[in-house]
Amino acid sequence: MYDVLWLTGLTGSALCLAAHVRTSVRSWLPSAVALGAMALMAPGASHREVFLACLASLAALTGTLVVRCPQRPGRRADLLMMSVLTAAMLRAHGGHSHHSGSPYWYTAGLAVFFVTCRLVLRAGALLVRQLRNTPSPRGARSSVPKRLLDETGGVLMMVGMACMPM
């Protein structure tokens, strides 16, 4: 099951990168770092690799804060959730023995909690943009297929990662 979830998250990260690949380096670099972080979490990855994935996702988040890259609403929220999820996996990661006798309802509840947090963060990001009444930065508007690709990738990545600690 972990293999399928990892492939789902990896596919989502690749879709996010594909949506940004024809734009400037400032725009696609955080997605490339997130894809690298997702690749580090391969089945059988060591504790050190998961720690590096956590640092990489934090670096991608920091990159969006430092380098004013054109972005869609909620991109920082996605990267924040990715950082939180990889940090949560660090605790449960002792050679990928995620089946530590925890009751199913607890691990399923944890996955639902993480997905709900992502939805709340994304909604909050959209509301803050509406409250500020700021138009999207130039270059942040993208075509519908590109936007759909990016959103689908984000959803696949978050759902795959949220269910991984199970």
Q: CA torsion sign, 166 to 19 to 77 to 151?
A: negative
97-112: per-residue pLDDT in tens? 444 555 666 667 777 8
More confident residue, 129 or 100: 129
> What length is written for the chain?
166
- Residue 132's pLDDT is 77
- Residue 159, C-beta contacts closer than 8 angstroms, at least 6 positions apart: 8, 12, 115
More confident residue, 56 or 20: 56
Q: CA torsion sign, 158 to 111 to 38 to 14?
A: negative
Q: What is the spatial distance between Cα 85 and Cα 1, in angstroms, rounded to a whole number?
A: 17
Mean pLDDT over each residue of the chain, to the nearest integer: 77
Q: What is the pTM of this model?
A: 0.74
Comparing 76-90, 105-119, 130-144, which segment has the lowest mean pLDDT? 130-144
Contact 121, 77 (CB under 8 A): yes
Structural domain harbouring 158: 2-163
In total, how many domains does the chain have? 1
Q: What is the spatial distance between Cα 19 and Cα 24, in angstroms, rounded to a whole number?
A: 12
Q: CA torsion sign, 61 to 113 to 124 to 19?
A: positive
Identify which of 161, 166, 163 has the alpha carbon closest to the alpha carbon of residue 50. 161
- Residue 17's pLDDT is 84
- Residue 97's pLDDT is 45
Contact 142, 72 (CB under 8 A): yes
